[in-house]
Structure 1
Amino acid sequence: MDSIFIIEQLINGIGYGLMLFLLAAGLTLVFGVMDTMNLAHGTLFMFGAYIAATVHEASHSFLAAVLCGVLVTMLIGALLEVTLMRRLYKRNHLNQVVATFGVILLADDFVKWMWGASPIMASTPAALAGPVQLLPDLPYPSYRLLILVAGVVAALALYVVVNHTRLGMLVRAGASDRPMAELMGVRVQSVFTLVFVIGAALAGVAGALMGPLTSVQIGMGEGILIPALVVIVIGGIGSVRGSFVAAMLVGVVDTAGRAFVPPLLREVMAPALAADVGPALAGIAMYVLMAVVLCFKPGGLFPARG
């Protein structure tokens, strides 16, 4: 296990963490700021991946595929917010969980009807198919570098919107004291709708970019929703900054665990036993990280101020 392999896996972990942040940031805005549990957020990620893969196959334009994936996901998010989520804002979390879980089931059946049950293999754009020489002995896939850049740009843009714009101020005001904000003339419902659509756009970006790295298939949103929830808990519910830091930690820990733990175990135990134990230990690494953080910081690393 040389240093080049370690550096490569760390970069992979950062890229995975940035995609987790895009998904977790939308959940943080909806759950932490609007106090609404939306389990269907992973479904928006799935739609972004399917739509982008379909458009890319038809048009052979990756930029058009990403734009279409994000725009259609935003429309789906707006429709979901207007038809369902508005009726759930004042309900308890149990009602929100049950209702949005029903959306997951309906969305999975719709995808099966629309695209079939077989996974779709989204293709990497031809211009980004080759490697980039980061170091003399480290060629790195250019598409993964694109994901790194896109994740950083999205994180900076979200930070500016939440902390340095009028919209961010209105969101915090509506979340802190909705009746008072409405008396001051703030259209809180419209602000919440816009926040929900922004969260859907972030999920669409993540889905569109992750499609070429993973198989686009039914249920992929539920698979990545669990790590996104872990990110929110570690970072602190309602904290965008906490979600970013936690996503980096989870991405690196999860990737490093899957890359390093099985080979290390093969050095100290029988190969057959290491093949069984290694993936299991790697799979629980992020949950161990969450347990350790919560032992010392029960509110998460950066709990949001009320």
Structure 2
Amino acid sequence: MNPILVIEQLLNGAGYGLMLFLIAAGLTLVFGIMDVMNLAHGSLFMLGAYVAAQVHVHSGSFFGAVFVAIAATVLVALLLELTLMRRLYGRDHLAQVLATFGVILVADDLVKMAWGPSPVMAPTPAALSGPVDLFGVLPYPAYRLVVLGAGVAVALLLYLLVNHSRMGMLVRAGASDRWMAELMGVRVKKVFSGVFALGAGLAALAGALMGPIMAVQVGMGESILIPALVVIVIGGIGSVRGAFVASLLVGLVDTIGRAFLPLLLRATLPPSLAADLGPLFSEVAMYALMAAVLSFRPAGLFSARA
């Protein structure tokens, strides 16, 4: 097997895993700290991708488009939190799932009305469209390296925010004992609104960065939501560190499986059948990984609740 191809797929898997982390981190914060199951998190990812693609096409500034996408998505998330999510705090998870699933249906229809049913083209920034020569032998897309760097930087900043800042201390206090925190003067509602906005911003950032790599289309939020849920289950609900480790594992398993399983299956199966079964088996491998982890650690790798 070509070692250059292996290194390239490892980098692709790490990049996909870091984008999963941006989505899963916000989802695990909202679920683990606020105890709210927000299925509409994928719709925020989709909104960020659409807004970034539209602004980039009209302005020509990719980084400006990312900023606008994050700002617009956070504003929409705050409106959603004020009008709907606050009514769901303290309700059972079934009510939260049904309500936020309704938000998915509404969001998909609104996106169709605004941008149409066809996929939207999200161009790669011109300055990052070329390859970078890694190790002198591997030409790798510059944009994917930027995505890798952005994911690592956000993971580090998020770790510092949650574990080594006053905001993180207030978040953990509100999650541990909301009523005692309120008696001590913590404005838990504002803290929870901040957590919800932070999760939305991370989802929008992931959508804006993934736009030039994957198709920006209606329903993209639902397709990315399932791997994100697998990530938070593997990593442990409420754990940012667990989400980071699990995202890399899932990203690598999925990408390597899609790249190499068809090649292995061609040794015993017809090429067309191997090409069809390879992606299917790689998706099954993601769930097999989750089952293997939960069989040894039912609460996840780094469960915050444990």
TM-score tier (shorter): over 0.9
Match of 2:77 in 1: 77
Describe the SS at the equivalent of 1:132.
strand
Query: 1:126-275, aligned counterparts within 5 Å?
Result: 126-275=126-275
Percent same amino acid at aligned positions?
69
What is the rounded CA distance, in whole Å, between the counterparts of 1:23 and 1:126 in structure 2? 26
Residue 87 of structure 2 aligns to which amino acid in structure 1?
A: R
Query: 1:33-182, aligned counterparts within 5 Å?
Result: 33-182=33-182
What is the rounded CA distance, in whole Å, between the counterparts of 1:276 and 1:124 in structure 2? 29
Residue 211 of structure 2 aligns to which amino acid in structure 1?
A: G
What is the rounded CA distance, in whole Å, between the counterparts of 2:47 and 2:225 in structure 1? 14
Match of 2:299 in 1: 299
Q: CA deviation at 1:218?
A: 0.4
Q: CA deviation at 1:255?
A: 0.3
What is the rounded CA distance, in whole Å, between the counterparts of 2:51 and 2:270 in structure 1? 45
Describe the SS at the equivalent of 1:171.
helix
Residue 150 of structure 2 aligns to which amino acid in structure 1?
A: A
What is the rounded CA distance, in whole Å, between the counterparts of 1:74 and 1:279 in structure 2? 34
Question: In the TM superposition, what whole-angstrom CA distance separates every residue of 1:118-139 from its partner, at most 9, and x where no partner exists?
Answer: 0001000000000000122200
Unmatched 5+ stretches in structure 1: none
Deviates more, 1:128-137 or 1:204-213: 128-137
Residue 101 of structure 2 aligns to which amino acid in structure 1?
A: F
What is the rounded CA distance, in whole Å, between the counterparts of 1:157 and 1:135 in structure 2? 28
Describe the SS at the equivalent of 2:266.
helix
Residue 89 of structure 1 aligns to which amino acid in structure 2?
A: Y
Q: CA deviation at 1:273?
A: 3.2
Question: In the TM superposition, what whole-angstrom CA distance separates every residue of 1:20-64 from its partner, at most 9, and x where no partner exists?
Answer: 000000001100111000000000000000000000000001011
Deviates more, 1:276-285 or 1:97-106: 276-285
Describe the SS at the equivalent of 1:268.
coil
Residue 291 of structure 2 aligns to which amino acid in structure 1?
A: A
What is the rounded CA distance, in whole Å, between the counterparts of 2:252 and 2:297 in structure 1? 20
What is the rounded CA distance, in whole Å, between the counterparts of 2:135 and 2:284 in structure 1? 32
The total of aligned residue pairs comes to 306
Question: In the TM superposition, what whole-angstrom CA distance separates every residue of 1:180-199 from its partner, at most 9, and x where no partner exists?
Answer: 00000000000000010000
Match of 1:26 in 2: 26
What is the rounded CA distance, in whole Å, between the counterparts of 2:107 and 2:198 in structure 1? 20
Q: CA RMSD in A?
A: 0.9
What is the rounded CA distance, in whole Å, between the counterparts of 1:124 and 1:276 in structure 2? 29
What is the rounded CA distance, in whole Å, between the counterparts of 1:198 and 1:26 in structure 2? 7
Describe the SS at the equivalent of 2:299.
coil
Match of 1:290 in 2: 290
Q: CA deviation at 1:303?
A: 1.0
Q: CA deviation at 1:160?
A: 0.5
Residue 134 of structure 1 aligns to which amino acid in structure 2?
A: L
TM-score by length of 1: 0.98
Question: In the TM superposition, what whole-angstrom CA distance separates every residue of 1:72-117 from its partner, at most 9, and x where no partner exists?
Answer: 0110111111111000011100000000000000000000000101
Q: CA deviation at 1:280?
A: 1.6
Q: CA deviation at 1:276?
A: 3.2
What is the rounded CA distance, in whole Å, between the counterparts of 2:241 and 2:44 in structure 1? 22
What is the rounded CA distance, in whole Å, between the counterparts of 1:59 and 1:108 in structure 2? 25
Unmatched 5+ stretches in structure 2: none
CA contact (8 A) 2:237 2:305 kept: no
What is the rounded CA distance, in whole Å, between the counterparts of 1:297 and 1:283 in structure 2? 21
Question: In the TM superposition, what whole-angstrom CA distance separates every residue of 1:145-188 from its partner, at most 9, and x where no partner exists?
Answer: 00001001110110000000011111111111111000000000
What is the rounded CA distance, in whole Å, between the counterparts of 1:297 and 1:173 in structure 2? 26
What is the rounded CA distance, in whole Å, between the counterparts of 1:149 and 1:272 in structure 2? 36
Residue 234 of structure 2 aligns to which amino acid in structure 1?
A: I
What is the rounded CA distance, in whole Å, between the counterparts of 2:146 and 2:36 in structure 1? 32
Describe the SS at the equivalent of 2:30.
helix
Deviates more, 1:264-273 or 1:121-130: 264-273
